[in-house]
Amino acid sequence: MPSCNLAETVHNRWLQQSGNMMTCLYAATVDDLIRAFMQITSYRAWLKGGTSGKGPDKGTLRLRSAQRSGDPKLIAEAVRNFPGAEDLLTRAGGLEGAEIFGSTKRKLDMPPGSSHDSHRSDTVNYSLPRDGRRVTRARIEEALDGEDSGVQHTTSVLESDCDPSKWHIARLPKKSARKCQALQADSGEPCNTKIQCGSDGTPAPTYAGLKKDYRSPRNVAAEFWFCPDDIGRCVKGSKKRFVVDWPAVPMAWPVKRCTNLTMKEVLALEEAGFQLQQRGALSPRRKFQVSMDMPLPRSHFPIQPNPTSYNTFRHGYAIRRSMDPPSIEQRNKWSSAALMNNCYVSKLDALPYPGWGCVITLVTGKDKSYCVTFTGLPGCSCPGFLKMQSEALGKKGKWLYCKHVYYILRYLCKLDYQKDLFMHAPSYSFNEVIRILELANIVEKV
């Protein structure tokens, strides 16, 4: 039975003021007890994080909506507009990817005038500029801690003729259905993830090896592809049972020629742990080797891994190579080169390593100069060649060099257009370019 001492005194005064003398004091005491118990229950629920008996206010609803969206900008705005935030938030919060200013303490707390104190300032100010390319929390922590992540940023990727039997980065076609050929390092389960995920193909680690054929006891050649999102999960994991060989993982990954990695793809591979090879920086003065230093030693152009291979793509379009006899148009261009009078070579430049080839400046009888380039993708700067190239590439047109290219091959290199059929191809191999350089007395003959 609840006590009625306090309630009796209060309600007697209330009843006397209202003029109602017939209300039961016991019923009024129980009502007050129930009302007090409900208030205590609501207060306890509010302390535990629940509602206080009424709906949440606008600030709370706005904060909950921002949390469900996951957008850091909306969350920061909802926190700033929350009641009482101006008293607690003394500085603007640093969003991920935005420019951040701050300071860290350099020295320990020491009394003023201590002998262990130094002349350096007590704090160190730092500034992280806005980075629109890579917005990751790891980069901010790396800048604050001063630790190296092990993967250096590559600004210009070096592409080369990679050894197919070794690890390298190549582009998987967009219509490919290849799956990863490794066991996941964390779980040991087969990784059957489809590698292709981009509209223009997906750059991924690959190599050519042998696999066990279930239909015959012999091993067959195959090209293995792996997931490019994490080097530790698949590439550094275990191989599947039908994979015979497993090459060593390189420190710097070579990139196959004509892969044409975009900056977004380069950053994605770096975040996955792949260290790409950096192309050497060439200043305008070091870009070419002047003709006064000719001929160059043979070591100026190191032998490529596949010196007989040639490009099958030119400016993003597929090209093919034919060893048929020269056509009528090619014979006409070869004859037109013989009719060029008062032509001479005014300048001859060689591309240093990692490039290979030369640029020859040819002056015609009309005092017009054109740059004839002999590399893996030869060409000329004359309007005729540029027009032919735009019509031939992508439209299945006939590839035909101009008379300036044939003039260099005929009189400077002394080639035969009926025997040396490689000169008519839209792309040259390393050995073919070196042969042209040797015949033109640009490189010393071995």
What confidence tens digit (pLDDT) does each residue in 213-267 have?
Answer: 777 777 888 888 888 888 888 887 776 777 887 788 888 899 987 788 888 888 8
Same domain, 252 and 295: no
Task: Extract the runs of DSSP E, i.e. beta strands, from 162-298.
Answer: 168-172, 182-183, 202-212, 219-225, 238-239, 255-256
- Quote the Cα angle for 289-294-300, to 5°: 60
User: Is residue 144 very low, low, confident or very high in pLDDT (cuts 50, 70, 90)?
Assistant: very low
Neighbouring residues of 177: CB distance < 8 A, sequence distance ≥ 6: 194, 196
341 and 232, same domain (yes or no):
no
pTM value is 0.41
**Average pLDDT for residues 413-442, to the nearest whole number?**
90
Confidence of residue 340 (pLDDT cuts 50, 70, 90): confident
**42 has pLDDT over 50:** yes
Would you say residue 200 has pLDDT above 70? yes
User: Worst-scoring range by mean pLDDT, 107-121, 245-259, 384-398?
Assistant: 107-121
Specify if 141 maps to a domain.
no
Distance CA 128, CA 144 (A): 9
Cβ-based burial of 304 (10 A; exposed 0-12, middle 13-18, buried ≥19): buried
In this prediction, residue 405 has a pLDDT band, given cuts at 50, 70 and 90, of very high
- Please give the Cα distance from 179 to 186 (Å, whole number): 18
Counting Cα atoms < 13 Å in the Cβ hemisphere of 407 gives 24
Q: Yes or no: say if 311 and 257 are a contact pair by the CB < 8 Å rule.
A: yes
On whether both 242 and 312 belong to a single domain, the answer is no
Residue 406 scores a pLDDT above 80:
yes
The helix (run of H) or strand (run of E) holding residue 127 is: strand 123-128
Q: Using the predicted structure, report yes or no on whether residue 378 has a pLDDT greater than 90.
A: yes
Same domain, 167 and 218: yes
Q: Does a structural domain hold residue 123?
A: no
Regarding whether 213 and 310 lie in a shared domain, the answer is no
Task: Provide the CB-side half-sphere exposure for 304 (13 A, CA).
Answer: 24
Question: Does position 10 have pLDDT exceeding 80, yes or no?
Answer: no
**pLDDT value, residue 24:** 64
212 and 295 fall within a common domain = no
pLDDT value at residue 336: 92
Query: Are 403 and 302 part of one and the same domain?
Result: yes
Q: Is residue 82 part of a domain?
A: no
Answer yes or no: do 297 and 402 share one domain.
Answer: yes
Over range 274-302, report the average pLDDT.
68
Residue 64 has pLDDT above 90, yes or no: no
Within a domain: residue 85? no
308 versus 156: the higher-pLDDT residue is 308
What pLDDT score was predicted for residue 404?
93
Task: Please check whether residues 239 and 307 belong to one and the same domain.
Answer: no
Q: How many domains does the chain have?
A: 3
User: 218 in a domain, yes or no?
Assistant: yes
pLDDT of 162 strictly over 50: yes
Separation of CA 121 from chain center: 39
350 and 260 co-located in one domain:
no
Print the domain residue range for 16: 5-37
120 within a domain of the structure (yes/no) = no
pLDDT-derived band at 107 (thresholds 50, 70, 90) equals: low
The pLDDT score that the predictor gives to residue 3 is: 53
**pLDDT confidence tier of residue 148, bands split at 50, 70 and 90:** very low
3-state DSSP assignment of residue 126 = strand
Residues 239 and 299 in one domain: no
Decide if pLDDT at 123 tops 50: yes
> Alpha-carbon distance 260 to 195, whole Å?
18
Report the pLDDT value the prediction gives residue 283, as an integer from 0 to 100. Answer: 45
Backbone angles phi, psi at 407, to 5 degrees: -65, -45
* Residue 149 predicted with pLDDT over 60: no
Q: Are 210 and 199 in contact (CB under 8 A)?
A: no
Instruction: Judge whether 77 lies within some domain.
Output: no
Q: Two tokens at 206?
A: 């690959």
pLDDT reported for residue 401: 94
Residues 233 and 300 in one domain: no
- Confidence band of 181 (pLDDT split at 50, 70, 90): confident
* Percentage above 70 pLDDT, the chain: 72
Q: Is the pLDDT of residue 433 over 60?
A: yes
Evaluate if residue 5 carries a pLDDT over 70. Answer: no
Tell me the average pLDDT of the chain.
77
d(CA 151, CA 270): 7
**Has residue 131 been placed in a domain?**
no
Q: Does the structure show a pLDDT above 90 at 312?
A: no
| pLDDT of res. 177 | 82
Residue 40 has pLDDT above 70, yes or no: yes
Give residues with Cβ within 8 angstroms of 10, minimum separation 6: none
